[in-house]
A and B are shown apart, each in its own frame.
Chain A
Amino acid sequence: MCPVDSTTELAGITLRNPILTCSGTYGFGEEYTAYCPLEALGGITLKGITPLPRLGNPVPRLAETPAGLLNAVGLENPGLEEFLSSYLPKVRKLPTAVIANISGFSLEDYTQMARALRRDSGLAALEVNISCPNVKHGGMHFGTDPQSAEDVIAAVKAETDLPIIAKLSPNVTDIVEMARAVQRGGADAVSLINTLLGMSIDLDRQRPVLANTFGGLSGPAIRPVAVRMVWQVYQAIDLPIIGMGGITTWQDAVEFLLAGATAVSVGTGNFVNPQAPLEILKGIQGYCEKHGIASVRELVGLAHKS
């Protein structure tokens, strides 16, 4: 039998394979190279950046929960200028597709970054994290209001020629409505899901564990929510989906592909097993062989077919 074809296409980018890594869990690409060669990955997503540098939240920023992790890093990042001068020259040379991730607290924040990050930057795509409060509009989250989400994606799209991936927040009543909104805004793909808002309380101190009180839940605990959302969005819109949320093993990844994800992204799973992406790729290939499937692309959305 011929080897399984692992290549895939997403928003006009050809990926070596459908395994990516999640923003905020993989630094700026070099932290994990001793564990997982970047050549083996379909691509990586960089830590979210904002126009100005941010120190982020006080510690503790992390709290472990059953099969999950709460984080309140608070978007600590070097800022756009430092990213362009110190990080971009290095990341553009990495031997894999590199996706930048941008976050903002106003429409102008997003457009400013989009203007600076175009195809000639060497990046493969721009992931737009809309799970942030819009401080100019009473803190209403871009990611929970369909009109704001559409507007921010349209504004970013107008400023850059890079493919746009809209990263959706699961903290909404109707994920489908949000997915339709970003499709209208001109997104080329969607990433689902970002973290679920949660908290945890220290019984000894009788205080919240996180200095920030609330944090975003990630890890295996959120996987069923993520799979459900990928399933729903796959049925509702035409854009390719990058599935994420708790992927740690190849079985998890196959579940997302079957639900309709074109690619999968590993986040918290790297912390548990820094070689998870490699094992996942091997596992998916093995699964395809076993089921007589010639290309991983054939797995996408297979669970929807009657």
Chain B
Amino acid sequence: MLTEGLVVVHERLGEEAQRLMKLVLKGPIAKTAQAGQFVAVRVQDPTLASYDPLLRRPISLAEISPESDEITLLYRVVGKGTEILARARCGDRLSIMGPLGRGFSLPEDGELWLIAGGIGIFPLYPLAQRALAKGLSVRLFWGGDNQTFLESAGLSEWQALGIPIHLSTMDGSLGQKGLVTVQVLGLLWEFNGKVENSGQTMDGKLYVATCGPHKMMQAVTELCMNSGVPVEVSLEERMGCAVGACLGCVCTLKDEAGTLIHKKVCQDGPVFRGEEVVWDVSC
């Protein structure tokens, strides 16, 4: 769907040096959107029509509010496109395509662990909300550079959900020092042990959804596969059309027969089952 989203909130998120922005758009997209889906936003200075930058920018849905017809995008200003986007003001209308792609699936019951690295946290929030609304137990593991980042990127909103949260920072300023996967490994062992001691199998007990740097999602997938836990990962790739028409955004997967195949991150993803992703590709 191509719509004009009305900017109702656009403000800095947290500390200035983090360069994070919160953008709330009013429009019909929220009615049909799933957690993990994204929109393709046209970035253009409204006072100066131009084809530089040319392409739309893919940004995940960080909040989906069908009752108020609002979606929230949280993004980091990293280059020309996001810099121009950051200039949009309340009352402006932004051209958005979406909701796009295939989002996270919501397990029927059991426990859902969300594992985020950096701003990979953003698409996981609506998933947490929907999982909680469905009565699932949700637990968050989140790693970032430092305390300032985590607090800027929405830690208090997560705390307000009242779920167990395990934080890691690279400098040790908040939570455990080091990689988020270390904490995941510890708890996964514990979880596994409990299930085995009760004479049961892991089937249907635990699900993992992860978003963050490539290497982190790869490590999370390996941990999950070793414990027989289904894991969904959200991939990123440069996009042209964002609807599956240009083949610019492919990722490599292994099909059931073990053959390497390409799928489109924009249309078949961005969320894929971790075990089918080929992480170290050379084709």
Listed in ascending order, the chain A residues whose CB lies under 8 Å from chain B are: 24-27, 31-32, 34-35, 47, 55-56, 58-64, 66-69, 71, 73, 76, 219-221, 248, 268, 270-275
Contact = CB atoms under 8 A, between A and B. Distances in A.
Given A219-B54, A270-B241, 5 more contacts: A25-B241, A63-B238, A71-B240, A76-B262, A272-B42
Contacts of A220: 51, 54
A255 B97 CA distance: 28
B237 interface: yes
B240 A69 contact: yes
B251 interface: yes
A47 B1 CA distance: 23
Nearest to A75: B247
Interface in B24-73: 42, 50-56
A195 to B, nearest CB: 12
A271 B238 contact: no
B126 interface: no
Given A62-B238, A67-B52, A31 B244 contact: yes
Given A272-B54, A274-B2, A60 B238 contact: yes
B182 interface: no
A67 B51 contact: yes
B31 to A, nearest CB: 15
Majority secondary structure, B binding face: loop
A275 B4 CA distance: 13
A35 B238 contact: no
Nearest to B238: A62
Contacts of B243: 27, 31-32, 34-35, 274
Nearest to B282: A58
A112 B51 CA distance: 40
Given A55-B262, A58-B281, A58-B282, A271 B247 contact: no
B247 A76 contact: yes
Contacts of A55: 260, 262, 283
Contacts of B240: 25, 62, 69, 71, 268, 271
The 3 closest A-B pairs by CB, nearest first: A27-B245, A31-B245, A67-B51
